[in-house]
Amino acid sequence: MEETDKLNAFFNPRSAAIIGATKKVDKAGNVIFKNFAYNKTRGVFKGEIYPVNPNAESILGFKCYPSITEIPGELDLIVIVVPAKVVPTIMEDAVAKKVKTAIIITSGFREIGKIELEQQIVATAKKAGIRILGPNCLGVYYQKTGVDTLFLPETKVLTTGDEVIATPRPLVGDIAIVTQSGAFGVAALDFLAGRQIGISKFVSFGNKSDVTESEMMHYLLYDNETKVILLYVEDIKYGRKFLRIAKEVTLKKPIIALKAGRSVAGARAAASHTGAIAGSDKIYDAAFEQTGVIRAADMEEFFDMGKALAMQPPALGNNIGILTDAGGPGIMAVDECESGGLSVNRFSEETLRKFQKLKDEGVLPKFAATSNPVDLTGSVTDDMFEVAADLMFQDPAVHGIVLLGLHHLPALREKYIDSVAQVSSKYSKPIVMCDIGETEMALYTRFRFDKLGIPSFPSPEDAARAMKALVNYGAYLKKNNCAEEYISEFLKKKRGS
Interacting residues with a copy of itself between 162 and 181 (CB under 8 A): 164-168, 179-181
Residues 12-51, mask of contacts with a copy of itself (x by CB under 8 A): --------------x-x--x--------------------
- Nearest of 238, 241, 187, 176 to residue 209 by alpha carbon: 238
- Strands of 276-340, DSSP E: 294-295, 320-324
What residues contact residue 93 under an 8 Å CB cut-off, 6+ apart?
67, 68, 69
- Nearest of 77, 109, 282 to residue 207 by alpha carbon: 109
Interacting residues with a copy of itself between 217 and 276 (CB under 8 A): 232, 234, 258, 260-266, 269-270, 272-274
The DSSP call for residue 45 is S
Amino acid identity, position 335: D
Of the pair 67, 459, the CB lying nearest a copy of itself is at 459
Question: Could you tell me the CA-to-CA distances from 90 to 58, 83, 85, 120, 324 in Å, in that order?
Answer: 20, 11, 10, 12, 61
Q: Under the criterion CB under 8 A, does residue 406 sit at the interface with a copy of itself?
A: yes
Please state the closest distance from residue 438 (CB atom) to a copy of itself, in A: 2
Please state the closest distance from residue 301 (CB atom) to a copy of itself, in A: 9
Q: Which stretch binds a copy of itself (CB under 8 A): 34-42, 58-66, 310-318, 369-377?
A: 369-377
Residue 203 phi, psi (nearest 5): -135, 125
Please state the closest distance from residue 353 (CB atom) to a copy of itself, in A: 18
**Cβ-contact 15, 77 below 8 angstroms:** yes
Q: Under the criterion CB under 8 A, does residue 282 sit at the interface with a copy of itself?
A: no
Rounding to the nearest 10 degrees, give the CA dihedral for residues 422, 423, 427, 429: -100
Residue 27 CA to residue 81 CA, distance in Å, equals: 10
How many residues belong to the site for a copy of itself (CB under 8 A)?
99
- The single residue among 300, 317, 348, 383 that binds a copy of itself, judged by CB under 8 A, is 300
Start-to-end CA distance of the chain, whole Å, equals: 28
- H or E, element range at 62: strand 62-63
Residue 166 CA to residue 184 CA, distance in Å, equals: 14
Query: Could you tell me the maximum CA-CA distance found in the chain, to the nearest angstrom?
Result: 83
Residues 428-467, mask of contacts with a copy of itself (x by CB under 8 A): --------xxxxxxx-x-------------xxxxx-----
**Cβ-contact 312, 244 below 8 angstroms:** no
Of the pair 57, 162, the CB lying nearest a copy of itself is at 162
Of the pair 130, 236, the CB lying nearest a copy of itself is at 236
Q: Which stretch binds a copy of itself (CB under 8 A): 40-48, 296-304, 390-398, 488-496?
A: 296-304
**Cβ-contact 361, 391 below 8 angstroms:** no
Q: Which stretch binds a copy of itself (CB under 8 A): 15-23, 70-78, 157-165, 472-480?
A: 157-165
Interacting residues with a copy of itself between 49 and 88 (CB under 8 A): none
Of the pair 99, 404, the CB lying nearest a copy of itself is at 404
Amino acid identity, position 75: L
- The single residue among 55, 159, 224, 481 that binds a copy of itself, judged by CB under 8 A, is 159
Please state the closest distance from residue 73 (CB atom) to a copy of itself, in A: 32
Q: Which stretch binds a copy of itself (CB under 8 A): 115-123, 208-216, 318-326, 423-431?
A: 318-326
- The single residue among 92, 225, 335, 383 that binds a copy of itself, judged by CB under 8 A, is 335
**Cβ-contact 467, 474 below 8 angstroms:** no
- The single residue among 74, 116, 298, 360 that binds a copy of itself, judged by CB under 8 A, is 298
Please state the closest distance from residue 68 (CB atom) to a copy of itself, in A: 25
Residue 447 CA to residue 456 CA, distance in Å, equals: 7
Interacting residues with a copy of itself between 336 and 365 (CB under 8 A): 336-339, 343-345
